[in-house]
Structure 1
Amino acid sequence: MKLTFTRIVAIILLVVPGIAAAYGFLAMKDAFFAIFEPNIGHMLWGKFFVGILLFAAGVAFIGGWTFFRDRKRNYVAPRFKAKRKQP
């Protein structure tokens, strides 16, 4: 039971930033293409910057999660491995 609960929590921790990144990308796209809308006619800068923020935060979280998981399992290149203290 404990293992399934931890896996569900891990999936939720990855899905929420993924949804935020997807919404950020869509917000940037909508803000950019608002230029071509005859009723608006200009770029929605606030929506664009919120989209950049959400997209960058989501991608950074998922990338960091993957990087530290791979580092723990020794899947990374030698330059990314954790430095050990010399005795």
Structure 2
Amino acid sequence: MARMAAFIVLLIPAIMAGAGIKFMRDTLYSKLIEPFPWLWLQFIVGIILFVIGLGFFAGFLLHRDRKKGKVAPKFQKETK
């Protein structure tokens, strides 16, 4: 059950990043999707979704690898 929950938690940002890529691609081909009134707004929303989705996924991987001790010393968290 825990693996399924982790999969769902990682699936949501992956879908967000995929939607961001789709919005940016559609902007480059001048295809305006319905909820957006302007192409530039569609592109900005695409960038935001992509960065948030990718950042969440990368942070999750970094957190997991820190727990297992598989990161370079410069990425280790400082303990006080």
TM-score, normalised to structure 1, is 0.79
Q: CA RMSD in A?
A: 1.4
Higher RCO (CA < 8 A, seq sep 6+): 2
Displacement of 1:83 in angstroms is 1.4
The whole-number CA distance in structure 2 between the counterparts of 1:60 and 1:78 is: 21
- TM-score, structure 2 length as denominator? 0.86
Identity %: 41
Give the whole-Å Cα distance in 2 for the aligned partners of 1:71 and 1:30: 37
Q: Post-superposition shift, 1:84?
A: 2.5
Whether 2:18 is the aligned partner of 1:22: answer yes
Q: How does 1:1-87 map to 2 (within 5 A)?
A: 5-34=1-30, 44-85=39-80
| Deviant stretches of 4+, over 6 Å | none
1:46 partner amino acid: L
Task: Structure 2: give runs of 5+ residues left out of the alignment.
Answer: 32-37
Q: Which has the larger radius of gyration?
A: 1
Note the C-alpha offset of 1:15. 0.6
> 1:25-74 CA deviation, whole Å, 9 max, x = no partner?
01001012108xxxxxxx71011011001000000000000001001101
